[in-house]
C-alpha cells in the first residue's frame, strides 16, 4: 500500500462544487439567479413561510365550515369540560385474565391493556365473557356491567355516572290546557260557585 503523504492525499469521494448563482450571465445562473422576475418568491426569506400560509389571504383552514359543538375536533380550541376515557372491552378481559381473577387498574396496566392511569378507564361490552371476574374501573357501560354480572362476577365503579340535569322549562308530564275546567272524581265537571263583588 502506498504511503500516505501530502502529495497523494485525496478525498474519499469526489467533491461536487456548489452552484454559484448571480455571478454574471456567462456563469449560467446570472441576472435573476433562477428566481424569475419579481413576486414574493423572488425576494429574500420567501422560502421560510409557515405551512398553510397563503400570502395573506384567508387560509383554507379558516374558510371551511366547522362542525358545531366545542367537543368536535373541527371546533378548536376544545373546551376544558371535554372528558375522555380509555376503553377496555370485556372480550380482552376474557383473553388476558384467569377465571376468578381480580381485575384492578394496576392489573390492566400490567396486562398492557391500558398505557397508564392518567386517563380514566371505562369497561365496554364488546366480546363474550364467561369467566367470573371481579372488575374495578372508573366507569362501566350498561352492556359491560350486565355481562360481568351474568358471568357471576362483580363490577365496581370508582366514579359515579353523571346524571344529566333537566333543563329549566322542560315539562315532565302531559300538557294540560289552562282553560280546561276541573273535574270531580266521578268524571263530571265540578261546579264553580258564582261569587260577585256585591254579595255579602
pLDDT in tens, the chain (200 residues): 788 899 988 888 888 888 888 898 888 888 899 899 998 889 998 888 888 999 899 999 899 887 666 555 555 555 555 567 889 999 999 999 999 999 999 999 999 999 999 889 999 999 999 999 999 999 999 999 999 999 999 999 998 776 667 777 666 555 544 455 555 555 555 555 555 555 54
200: DSSP letter: -
Check if the beta carbon of residue 159 is closer than 8 Å to that of residue 138.
Answer: yes
118 located within any domain: yes
26 located within any domain: no
Check if the beta carbon of residue 137 is closer than 8 Å to that of residue 158.
Answer: yes
Q: Helix (H, G, I), strand (E, B), or coil: what is residue 140? A: strand
Check if the beta carbon of residue 129 is closer than 8 Å to that of residue 151.
Answer: yes
Q: Where are any strands of DSSP class E within the chain?
A: 85-89, 102-103, 120-124, 134-137, 139-140, 154-157
Q: What is the largest CA-CA distance in the chain?
A: 139
Q: Which long-range contacts (CB under 8 A, 24 or more apart) does 103-111 make?
A: 103/133, 103/134, 103/135, 103/136, 103/137, 104/136, 105/136, 105/137, 108/137
Give me the CATH number covering residue 123. Answer: 3.100.10.10
32 located within any domain: no
CA distance 10 to 1: 15
61 located within any domain: no
149 located within any domain: yes
186 located within any domain: no
16 located within any domain: no
- Smallest CA-to-CA distance from 121 within 83, 153, 154 is with 83
Write down the pLDDT at residue 170: 62
CA distance 165 to 190: 38
Q: What's the structural domain count of the chain?
A: 1
146 located within any domain: yes
Write down the pLDDT at residue 200: 46
Write down the pLDDT at residue 98: 94
Look up the domain containing 116 and give its range: 85-157
pTM summary value: 0.47
Cis preceding linkage at 18, omega within 30: no
As given in the structure block, the three cell numbers for residue 152 are 357471576
Amino acid at each position: 500500500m502506498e504511503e500516505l503523504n501530502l502529495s497523494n492525499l485525496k478525498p474519499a469521494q469526489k467533491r461536487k462544487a456548489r452552484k454559484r448563482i448571480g455571478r454574471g450571465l456567462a456563469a449560467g445562473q446570472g441576472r435573476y439567479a433562477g428566481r424569475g422576475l419579481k413576486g414574493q418568491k423572488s425576494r429574500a426569506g420567501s422560502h421560510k413561510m409557515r405551512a398553510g400560509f397563503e400570502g395573506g389571504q384567508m387560509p383554507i383552514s379558516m374558510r371551511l365550515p366547522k362542525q358545531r359543538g366545542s367537543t368536535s375536533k373541527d371546533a378548536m380550541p376544545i373546551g376544558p369540560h371535554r372528558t375522555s376515557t380509555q376503553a377496555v372491552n370485556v372480550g380482552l378481559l376474557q383473553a388476558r385474565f384467569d377465571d376468578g381473577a381480580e381485575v384492578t387498574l394496576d392489573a390492566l396496566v400490567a396486562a398492557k391493556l391500558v398505557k397508564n392511569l392518567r386517563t380514566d378507564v371505562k369497561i365496554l361490552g364488546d366480546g363474550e365473557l364467561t369467566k367470573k371476574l371481579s372488575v374495578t374501573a372508573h366507569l362501566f357501560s350498561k352492556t359491560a356491567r350486565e355481562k360481568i354480572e351474568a358471568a357471576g362476577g362483580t363490577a365496581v365503579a370508582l366514579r359515579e355516572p353523571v346524571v344529566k340535569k333537566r333543563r329549566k322549562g322542560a315539562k315532565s308530564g302531559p300538557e294540560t290546557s289552562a282553560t280546561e275546567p276541573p273535574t270531580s272524581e266521578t268524571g263530571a265537571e265540578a261546579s264553580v260557585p258564582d261569587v260577585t263583588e256585591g254579595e255579602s
